Chains A and B, each alone.
Chain A
Amino acid sequence: MKSMRVQEHPILGNSEKKEAVTIYFDGKPYTAYTGDTVASALLASGVRTLRKHEETASPRGIYCNIGHCFECRVQLNGSETVRACLTTVADGMYVTSLTLPKGASI
């Protein structure tokens, strides 16, 4: 896959070097960099689907990227529901998708 990171930019300049951390999404490790949001880190790794719709199970990802639409909701460290686009990464962060288990209903 071609890199999704914007390393060089004619006006904004080159990206600063950031510290690499590991986050887990649905059990799988991904490399992220400090300052990333969960949403931007996953997109940089090619992950666009953050959850399945509660009723239709259709795949969903970010829409607004600034906290307005709640399309990016995920579960953080097994408890809190947060917006992936407003949550900055931390080393060892454990994120799970809000997909309902098979056979479960709401």
Chain B
Amino acid sequence: MIDLLIVGAGPAGLRAAIAAAENGLHVSIIDEFVKPGGRLLGQLHEEPDGSWVNGVEEAERMYHRAIQLGVEISTGVSVYDLAETPAGWSIYTTDGVRESRCLLLATGASETPIPIPGWTLPGVMSIGAAQVMGNVHRVKPGHKGVVIGVNVLSVAIAREMQLCGVTVDRIVLPAHNLISADASNPEKMMESLLRLSHLAPSSLMKIGGKFVSPKLAARFYPRNGFKIWGIPIQLRKTALEIIGEEQVRGVRIAAISATGSVIPGTEEIVDADFVCIAGGLTPMAELAAVAGCRFHYVPQLGGHVPLHNERMQTTLKGLYVAGNITGVESAKVAGAQGRVAGLSIADELGVLSAAGKEKIKEAVDQTVHTRKHALIQFNQGIEEARHALYTEFQQLTDKKISV
């Protein structure tokens, strides 16, 4: 039996493994992807000072540190079930059953699909798929594409595709349906776009600065959009249908009013050999549900999340969570949470000194600090929502103790 098994070799899992192994724990990580690093692998961001954060390199650094500390990392292995045992946890994987005293779920987030007529055609993919194709596998998702869905991820990845030599023709809104909901409404999208101004200061400031309210901005938004890095962002255009027989040939688009209704007679077809759908991210918490964790719905964190405290403990003994499974945030925050989890587990297993215990507090503070300064904020009100969640956890465990 090992001390700690971690599901997920993203920034949260890797940093947790490093922190736990530095304190002498025997740690294994399992990940189903072809190499360690999780979604950090495809990331490529320009910092305000002009330097680039290269996710592939960051992931390699963490991986080597973990290996140096004796952490075992298996890739290409999926975990599909978990069971609590008297001594800890049984973990069912495609490579047999593993036993561990503690278990950390660091499974990250998944993309929310938006079904649009034609979306099953080969050549239609999620925006994250294009990121991984281009930046990790170094294969272009296509030569000329249309992105459907305007959010922080789609704008960032459109830029990354451009760096791969791919033409991103334009970014438009998805057609209005039950699932696209707010994502098809220009006013709502303007609101979220204004939060991106730090990523593309000059072009967004022009729009954002001129209009005080997102409502006004959406109404007076130029019909052909404005450009970021030369890519037209068209909040007043909607994708009605993806067309093609054997694979994508183009997208049928139309102009829409500020509240999202299609303006008759404005339909046109844009040629493209691929289409990316960007529906946003949601925590991937199935394994926590299988384990029997208590859940809470927190929109600011991207959906249903396992109830946990700031030390990354869940309501189940020996079961911890870290990273995007606890809420959608940037890779640096996920990593900081991972460190907290690794130290908390070392504490539960009784290997932390008094000085080590101090480190948990420091790591919790570091997470809050990292969140505050994160370049990419997926949602607003994250810190407040987290605070409420931790209070809820506290009340629940207090209640348990008093009965």
Contacts and interface: CB of A to CB of B under 8 A. Distances in A.
Given A10-B163, A43-B133, A49-B247, A15 B126 contact: no
B75 to A, nearest CB: 9
B138 A86 contact: no
A44 B122 contact: no
B123 A6 contact: no
B34 interface: yes
A11 B122 contact: no
Interface string B238-278: 00000000110000000000000000000000000000000
A3 B130 CA distance: 16
B353 interface: no
B33 interface: yes
Contacts of A85: 129
B113 A11 contact: no
B121 A59 contact: yes
A48 B123 CA distance: 6
Interface in B46-96: 52, 54, 56, 76, 78
**Which among B52, B56, B247 has the greatest number of chain A C-beta atoms within 10 A?**
B247
Contacts, number: 103
B338 to A, nearest CB: 19
B32 interface: yes
Contacts of B137: 36-37, 40
A50 B246 CA distance: 11
B124 interface: yes
A66 interface: yes
Given A49-B247, A86-B34, A66 B163 contact: no
Given A61-B122, A88-B34, A9 B164 contact: yes
Contacts of A48: 122-123, 247
A60 B56 contact: no
A81 B339 CA distance: 37
A68 B128 CA distance: 11
A65 B137 CA distance: 10
Contacts of A71: 120
A66 B33 contact: yes
Contact of B110 (A59, A68, A88): A68
A58 interface: yes
A61 B247 contact: yes
Contacts of A86: 32-34, 76
Nearest to A65: B129
B294 interface: no
B134 interface: yes
B132 interface: yes
A7 B52 CA distance: 19
A31 B397 CA distance: 58
Interface string B198-238: 00000000000000000000000000000000000000000
B143 A2 contact: yes
B246 A15 contact: no
Given A12-B54, A37-B137, A64-B128, A59 B246 contact: yes
Interface string B101-145: 000000000110100000011111110111011110111111100
A4 interface: yes
A66 B401 CA distance: 42
B110 A63 contact: no
B14 to A, nearest CB: 17
Nearest to B141: A43
A6 B129 contact: no
Contacts of A60: 120, 122
B128 A6 contact: no
A97 to B, nearest CB: 12
B292 interface: no
A59 B244 CA distance: 11
A69 B113 CA distance: 10
Interface string A53-86: 1000011111111111101000000000000011
A12 B52 CA distance: 10
B44 interface: yes
A48 to B, nearest CB: 4
B126 A67 contact: no
Given A11-B44, A59-B246, 15 more contacts: A6-B140, A10-B163, A11-B163, A36-B137, A43-B139, A50-B122, A59-B121, A60-B122, A61-B123, A62-B125, A63-B126, A63-B129, A64-B128, A68-B110, A87-B34
16 contacts: A4-B139, A6-B138, A10-B163, A15-B138, A36-B137, A37-B137, A43-B139, A59-B121, A60-B120, A62-B125, A63-B124, A65-B125, A65-B129, A65-B132, A69-B113, A88-B76
Closest 5 CB pairs of A and B: A61-B122, A65-B129, A48-B122, A40-B137, A6-B138
